[in-house]
A and B are shown apart, each in its own frame.
Chain A
Amino acid sequence: MQHTNKLSPFFENITFDRDDNELILNFGPQHPSAHGQLRLLLHLQQEQVVKAHPDIGYLHRGMEKMAENMIYNEFLPTTDRMDYIASSSNNYGFALAVEKLIDVDVPRRAQVIRMLLLEVNRLMSHLFWLATTALDIGAMTIFLYAFREREYLMDLIEDYCGARLTHAAIRIGGVPLDLPDNFMDDLKKFLDKLPQNMKDYEDLLDTNRIWLMRMEEVGTIPTEMALSWGCTGPMLRASGVNWDLRKEEPYELYSEIDFDVPVSDKGDNYARYKIYMEEMRQSAKILYQVIPMYYETTPELMAHAPQYISASKLDIMTQNYSLMQHFVLVTQGMRPPVGEVYVATESPKGELGFYINSQGGPYPYRLKMRAPSFWHTGVLTDLLPGHYIPDVVAIIGTTNIVFGEIDR
């Protein structure tokens, strides 16, 4: 007897009475190259994909729902769990959106520290991308090399905030901590070594015949498809659109920094690889410029907005009114004004946006998180048909998707 409500073997891979030769392949959700919990339903003719349906939701935790039931400061650590490869950039995206909503300006030292954290996170994310993609394609050595460098950066972040993966290192209105004494020296040591490391990676990959065969002319995203699917970040820049939010809608101190935005008109895996590599160099260039800026700032870390943001620890411990304010802000939460805001930042993966609808209460009425990976997974629907099975793995690799932020 068939129990329709029970988990039963589902013979979708076997097609007995079909005229055509189409095979339906279930790729994932437990596939080492699926970068998390991606299930791809691939319709195959021989080894060629004719139709692809990415199926997501295996990591859905309902963060938008959680946001509606949490005060703003309480929700900030939850954003760590979106793109957990570069979690400070999520903290930052959320904090910036709330700051725009309540209209506060962040002190300059906090801005400098945020810039440092954001670019270190970008480097971490790109190194992780390089490592895992190379591993997917079979270049194990790169994996080990890139993880070695990423480990150094994780240690650096650990020195700053104590956490390695889920940092929660940015607060609404500033940053919680000043940099530890050794931070700049360690960062400089890393940056000085980075060009040699990058050269090592490129020596191993750029002329590697297997790498080129897997990357060149594979997974080509035309400009129209990239725009239409809402691709952003390196995915869009690899398809010939010069669009980087750090340049186009500068936030923090990016307008004071001299850096270049790499663009390619090829749109294939190799173009994306090249763009990630160049972005790492540009991140290093940004960091070199940000380091001296730190020493020109005064040591304020949090914005002064007593209605929304707690005073400094010193004030809380010595001033009666600051303590009362802090108590209200912690137990009841800040109440931003009634209104809506959509703020986008350039996370390592692309445009990370937060739409907040506030009705004047301590909980957001609606919070929508625009995660770049969501759309970069969606584009697989149109991108994969025509490619072969082994290309699928290489393409998923270069889209740099992270399931924490796809499923949210």
Chain B
Amino acid sequence: MRAYSDKKDVQKKAYYTDRYWVAPTVPRQTVESDDVFAADLAAIKAKFTVLEAYIEVEQLVIVINPDDNFGVMKLMKEELQFEQLIEMAAVDWLARSNEFEIVVMMLSMAKRKRMRVKYTVAKDQAVESLNPLYRSADWAEREMYDMHGVKVNNHPYMKRILMPDDWQGHPLLKSYPLHGDEAAQWYEVDKIFGKEARDIIGPEIRDSAAIERYDTERFSRLGHEVPYGTDISEGEPDTPLAYQEEDGVFLIRKVHEDDSVEITDRDR
């Protein structure tokens, strides 16, 4: 029987971990240690629930409820001088708790501070678009949808951004294999030649390191060369290696192998 492996996370795993090894943690500071962040957090806490707040590597991290995301961002933009929504990243925790964590990186140029706002949404829960506040959320949310399948409400142009429109699956999910899933194997064959050509062409090999044992059209086999396209699935023909043409070499009339000299002195 094949060993069980969790299909919810097919990313590469460490092949060996010492059984006594405990991962250290990046140190966190309390928000009170920084006056600017403490004031920001107080302003947000006055109106919204903040589930968790701490400072990690010089940046404030707050965890809010997903329903408050628009309100918190509006407050941050209009009152707390966070001028830019720098980036949004979804983190796939489906294997652990069936939810996504969304991390929004914010920048305040007036205060020279950076902040991360995090909220977790369940797998099929939609979040409100931040596009009315920051236009950069437009593309960030499209990418989040494209890569993770996080659904966004009230987005002006929700459409895949990096993958083709008719792509199946969301590539950055932990359950999505590195070389693509089965639909990815057939994508180009279906698109270019049609589904009816599947039997003739076969699935696309998406592992760039893969070598096919019996393919003599695309792979040469050093020391065991056979003519191009020879079928070697039933055993290969004996191909003796000949290093010289039978009729001698072009332009060379006479060669006496016994008289030939091996040159060892380069400056001769």
List residues of A whose CB falls within 8 A of some B CB. 3, 5-7, 53, 56-57, 60, 62, 64-66, 68-70, 100-101, 103, 225, 227-230, 232, 241, 243, 248-249, 332-333, 335, 337-344, 351, 353, 355, 357-363, 365-366, 368, 370, 374-375, 378-379, 381-382, 407-408
Q: Does B25 lie within 8 Å of A60, measured CB to CB?
A: no
Which one of B24, B28, B59 has the highest number of Cβ atoms from chain A below 10 Å of its Cβ?
A: B24
User: B192 at the A/B interface (Cβ < 8 Å)?
Assistant: yes
Q: In whole Å, how far is B50's beta carbon from the nearest beta carbon of chain A? A: 17
Residues of chain B within 8 A (CB-CB) of A407 are 162
Beyond A225-B135, A370-B86, 5 additional pairs, beta carbon < 8 A? A230-B84, A249-B112, A363-B14, A378-B136, A381-B138
Q: In whole Å, how far is B137's beta carbon from the nearest beta carbon of chain A? A: 9
Q: Does B92 lie within 8 Å of A366, measured CB to CB?
A: yes
Q: Does A357 lie within 8 Å of B91, measured CB to CB?
A: yes
Which one of A6, A228, A243, A379 has the highest number of Cβ atoms from chain B below 10 Å of its Cβ?
A: A228
Q: Does B15 lie within 8 Å of A332, measured CB to CB?
A: yes
Q: Does B103 lie within 8 Å of A355, measured CB to CB?
A: yes
User: B109 at the A/B interface (Cβ < 8 Å)?
Assistant: yes
Q: Which 10 A-B pairs have the closest CB atoms?
A: A339-B26, A360-B23, A230-B136, A368-B89, A57-B162, A337-B24, A370-B87, A69-B12, A378-B139, A228-B135
Residues of chain B within 8 A (CB-CB) of A368 are 87, 89, 103
User: B250 at the A/B interface (Cβ < 8 Å)?
Assistant: no
* A230 touches which of B16, B21, B85 (Cβ 8 Å): B85
Residues of chain B within 8 A (CB-CB) of A70 are 12
Interface pairs (21), CB distance under 8 Å: A5-B194, A5-B195, A65-B176, A69-B12, A103-B26, A228-B136, A230-B86, A332-B15, A335-B23, A337-B23, A337-B24, A339-B57, A340-B61, A341-B26, A341-B57, A342-B116, A365-B91, A370-B87, A378-B135, A378-B139, A408-B162
Residues of chain B within 8 A (CB-CB) of A332 are 14-16
Q: Does B26 lie within 8 Å of A340, measured CB to CB?
A: yes
Which one of A100, A341, A342 has the highest number of Cβ atoms from chain B below 10 Å of its Cβ?
A: A342
Residues of chain B within 8 A (CB-CB) of A333 are 14
Q: Does A339 lie within 8 Å of B56, measured CB to CB?
A: yes
| Closest A residue by C-beta to B131 | A228
User: B74 at the A/B interface (Cβ < 8 Å)?
Assistant: no
Residues of chain A within 8 A (CB-CB) of B160 are 57
Residues from 16 to 30 in B contacting A, C-beta threshold 8 Å: 16, 21, 23-26, 28
* B89 touches which of A60, A69, A355 (Cβ 8 Å): A355
Residues of chain A within 8 A (CB-CB) of B162 are 56-57, 60, 407-408
Residues of chain A within 8 A (CB-CB) of B109 are 241, 243, 248
| Closest A residue by C-beta to B114 | A342
| Closest B residue by C-beta to A6 | B194
User: B48 at the A/B interface (Cβ < 8 Å)?
Assistant: no
Q: Does A340 lie within 8 Å of B116, measured CB to CB?
A: yes
Q: Does B91 lie within 8 Å of A6, measured CB to CB?
A: no
User: B11 at the A/B interface (Cβ < 8 Å)?
Assistant: yes
| Closest B residue by C-beta to A60 | B162
Size of B's binding interface in residues, CB under 8 A: 53
| Closest B residue by C-beta to A361 | B14
| Closest B residue by C-beta to A230 | B136
CA distance A408 to B171 in the complex (A): 13
Residues of chain A within 8 A (CB-CB) of B194 are 3, 5-6
Residues of chain B within 8 A (CB-CB) of A374 are 139
Whether A64 touches B11, Cβ cut-off 8 Å, given contacts A340-B26, A370-B86, is no
CA distance A120 to B11 in the complex (A): 37
* B83 touches which of A6, A227, A340, A355 (Cβ 8 Å): A227
User: B75 at the A/B interface (Cβ < 8 Å)?
Assistant: no
Whether A342 touches B92, Cβ cut-off 8 Å, given contacts A69-B12, A362-B14, is no
CA distance A249 to B109 in the complex (A): 10
* A62 touches which of B21, B138, B171, B174 (Cβ 8 Å): B171
Q: In whole Å, how far is A99's beta carbon from the nearest beta carbon of chain B? A: 11
Residues of chain A within 8 A (CB-CB) of B135 are 225, 228-230, 378-379, 382
User: B124 at the A/B interface (Cβ < 8 Å)?
Assistant: no
Residues of chain B within 8 A (CB-CB) of A60 are 162-163
| Closest B residue by C-beta to A368 | B89
| Closest A residue by C-beta to B92 | A366
Whether A248 touches B56, Cβ cut-off 8 Å, given contacts A57-B162, A381-B138, is no
* B192 touches which of A7, A344, A381 (Cβ 8 Å): A7
Chain B 157-168: CB-based contact to A (< 8 A → 1; otherwise 0): 100111110000
* B161 touches which of A57, A340, A359 (Cβ 8 Å): A57
Q: Does B23 lie within 8 Å of A363, measured CB to CB?
A: no
Q: In whole Å, how far is B183's beta carbon from the nearest beta carbon of chain A? A: 13
Residues of chain B within 8 A (CB-CB) of A339 are 25-26, 28, 56-57
Q: Does B25 lie within 8 Å of A363, measured CB to CB?
A: no
Q: Does B26 lie within 8 Å of A337, measured CB to CB?
A: yes
Whether A100 touches B57, Cβ cut-off 8 Å, given contacts A5-B194, A353-B86, A375-B136, is yes
Residues of chain B within 8 A (CB-CB) of A359 are 23
Q: In whole Å, how far is B217's beta carbon from the nearest beta carbon of chain A? A: 24
Q: In whole Å, how far is B205's beta carbon from the nearest beta carbon of chain A? A: 17
User: B178 at the A/B interface (Cβ < 8 Å)?
Assistant: yes
CA distance A366 to B163 in the complex (A): 19
CA distance A379 to B139 in the complex (A): 10
Residues of chain B within 8 A (CB-CB) of A360 are 23-24
Whether A353 touches B91, Cβ cut-off 8 Å, given contacts A100-B57, A341-B57, is no
Residues of chain B within 8 A (CB-CB) of A68 are 11-12, 174
Q: Does B139 lie within 8 Å of A69, measured CB to CB?
A: no
Q: Does A337 lie within 8 Å of B25, measured CB to CB?
A: yes
User: B243 at the A/B interface (Cβ < 8 Å)?
Assistant: no
| Closest B residue by C-beta to A343 | B57
Q: Does B26 lie within 8 Å of A65, measured CB to CB?
A: no
| Closest B residue by C-beta to A66 | B178
| Closest A residue by C-beta to B190 | A5
Residues of chain A within 8 A (CB-CB) of B157 are 53
Residues of chain A within 8 A (CB-CB) of B195 are 5
Q: In whole Å, how far is B226's beta carbon from the nearest beta carbon of chain A? A: 34
| Closest A residue by C-beta to B139 | A378
Q: Does A353 lie within 8 Å of B192, measured CB to CB?
A: no
User: B214 at the A/B interface (Cβ < 8 Å)?
Assistant: no
